[in-house]
């Protein structure tokens, strides 16, 4: 069976695709609307690649061999590393561990639902969906970097992520410092058609780069190195095409139930049956009230018949609060990035965020850099900033406590 690599954007509106055979490109490269890809994907094995920036990816040590138990344990094993509520995320696991560690990927459930439905809407049947960064080569000795026009993909044993081109040197330098086992080389596939390598070499002087041209573009790199055994298929659990078929029948369950009730009503011809239905209705109402009180302990009991609407209202408020918290973190990081980028010698050691407060642990060249940095953040953002610095053996450690004014 022929294989099609299908790369979609976050909105699943535009896509690019190409056929591969035996690790080599075959046929022509195509780019256009997702619906246009249908006739090329029909009857083929489709591997969908989604943007890595939408996926949380890490490696964790998981004991045991029961895969069902392992996948249930994953959300709680990585909960401290994720800002989002784990209840809103879908988790997937690599096929097998390497050195005892599994690759874990987490994506918002509503986003993978959107991608899945968009593919189905245009008739594309895909059994594999991976973060695009996991289509790069997996190696302990060499890290891989793929440069595109405005973004980069990075795969290493201690980090798999995407980055914009401007922040790539900072990300690589931090990754290189954290690595206990330094790579022999960092292989760069320059598919950008721009002169990014000159700046990268200048800003990452401690890293040995090996430049590889990619005349066939990113798809040529993906075709040579993609191996599902070293990746994560996001279509697991209820999204598995074999195990998750029942999920797509759920929208029809209410209609089927109504039809069954209508048939039953035609057969009900005696008073005893009507009384039995009345008792059943009371039982269901009591069960609904129990579910409501169990989910929202301490809340006032809603009037009869309003349990569902009251529950939806409370859930929507919870989701709104969650969205605001997430937006606050994103806004603060976006504003902080260019400020820190312009400070020479600064290294980010740690980041914590809670309720509009961002704590940054930094290493700077000297204690004299702390006050100008603090003033610069205040002037450019209007935020409340407090700093605590200590110098030991010529190394200055700083903790910035930043509170958003919003």
Which pLDDT tens digit goes with each residue over 172-216?
999 999 988 888 889 999 998 887 888 889 999 899 999 998 888
Q: How high is the pLDDT of residue 105?
A: 95
Three-class SS of 349-390: EEEEEECCEEEEEEEECCHHHHHHHHHHHHHHHCCEEEEEEE
Model pTM score: 0.59
Q: How high is the pLDDT of residue 240?
A: 82
Please report the sign of the dihedral spanned by the C-alpha atoms of residue 63, residue 69, residue 70, residue 72: negative
Helices then strands (H, E): number in the chain? 10, 17
pLDDT level of residue 326 (50, 70, 90 thresholds): very low
Each residue's pLDDT tens digit, 12-56:
999 999 999 888 899 899 999 999 999 999 989 999 999 999 999
Residue 91 makes CB contacts below 8 A (sequence gap 6+) with: 71, 74, 75, 104, 105, 106
Each residue's pLDDT tens digit, 346-393:
888 888 877 778 888 888 776 667 778 888 888 888 888 888 888 877
| Euclidean distance between the first and the last CA atom of the chain, given in angstroms as a whole number | 55
Among the residue ranges 217-231, 318-332, 377-391, the one predicted with the least confidence is: 318-332
Give me the chain's average pLDDT, please.
83
- Every domain of the chain with CATH number 3.30.1360.100 lies at 325-403
Rounded CA gap, 268 and 198, in Å? 82
Which tops the pLDDT comparison, 95 or 342?
A: 95
Q: How high is the pLDDT of residue 299?
A: 65
Rounded CA gap, 187 and 210, in Å? 5
Q: How high is the pLDDT of residue 273?
A: 67
- Supply 140's token pair: 């302990």
Each residue's pLDDT tens digit, 235-270:
998 888 655 444 444 555 667 677 777 787 677 666
Q: How high is the pLDDT of residue 147?
A: 94
Which tops the pLDDT comparison, 75 or 291?
A: 75
- Every domain of the chain with CATH number 3.30.420.380 lies at 3-235
Q: What angle do CA 260, 261, 266 make, to 5 degrees?
A: 100
Q: How high is the pLDDT of residue 394?
A: 74
CATH 3.30.420.380 fits 3-235, yes or no: yes
pLDDT level of residue 403 (50, 70, 90 thresholds): confident
For range 322-338, the mean pLDDT: 65
Among the residue ranges 75-79, 148-152, 174-178, 394-398, the one predicted with the least confidence is: 394-398
Rounded CA gap, 74 and 72, in Å? 6
CATH 3.30.1360.100 fits 325-403, yes or no: yes
């Amino acid at each position: 069976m022929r294989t099609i690599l299908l790369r979609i954007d976050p909105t699943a509106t535009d896509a690019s695709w190409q056929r591969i055979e035996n690790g080599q490109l075959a046929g022509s490269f195509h780019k256009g609307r997702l619906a246009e890809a249908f006739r090329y994907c029909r009857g083929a094995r489709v591997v969908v690649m989604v943007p890595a920036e939408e996926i949380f990816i890490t490696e964790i040590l998981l004991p045991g061999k029961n895969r069902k138990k392992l996948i249930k344990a994953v959300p709680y094993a990585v909960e401290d590393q994720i800002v989002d509520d784990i209840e809103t995320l879908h988790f997937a696991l690599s096929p097998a561990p390497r050195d005892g560690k599994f690759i874990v990927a987490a994506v918002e459930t509503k986003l993978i639902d959107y991608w899945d439905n968009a593919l189905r809407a245009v008739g594309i049947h895909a059994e594999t969906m991976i973060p695009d960064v996991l289509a790069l080569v997996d190696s302990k000795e060499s890290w891989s970097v793929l440069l595109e026009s405005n973004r980069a993909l990075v795969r290493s044993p201690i980090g798999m992520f995407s980055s914009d081109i401007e922040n790539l040197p900072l990300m690589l330098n931090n990754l290189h410092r954290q690595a206990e086992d330094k790579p022999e080389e960092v292989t760069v596939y320059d598919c950008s058609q721009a002169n990014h390598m000159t700046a990268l070499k200048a800003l990452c002087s401690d890293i040995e780069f090996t430049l590889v041209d990619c005349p066939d573009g990113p798809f040529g790199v993906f075709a040579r190195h993609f191996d599902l055994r070293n990746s994560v298929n996001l279509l697991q659990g209820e999204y598995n095409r074999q195990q998750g078929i029942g999920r797509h029948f759920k929208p029809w369950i209410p209609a089927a139930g109504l039809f069954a009730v209508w048939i039953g009503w035609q057969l009900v011809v005696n008073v005893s049956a009507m009384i039995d239905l009345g008792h059943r209705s009371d039982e269901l109402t009591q069960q609904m009230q129990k579910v409501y009180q169990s989910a929202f302990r301490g809340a006032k009991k809603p009037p009869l018949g309003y349990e569902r609407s009251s529950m939806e209202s409370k859930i929507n408020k919870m989701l709104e609060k969650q969205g605001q918290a997430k937006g606050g973190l994103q806004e603060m990081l976006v504003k902080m990035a260019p400020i820190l980028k312009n400070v020479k010698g600064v290294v980010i050691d740690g980041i914590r965020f809670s309720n509009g407060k961002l704590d940054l642990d930094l290493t700077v060249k000297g204690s004299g850099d702390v006050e100008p940095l603090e003033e610069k953040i205040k002037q450019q953002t209007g935020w409340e900033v407090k700093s605590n610095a200590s110098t030991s053996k010529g190394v200055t450690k700083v903790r910035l406590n930043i509170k958003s004014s919003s």
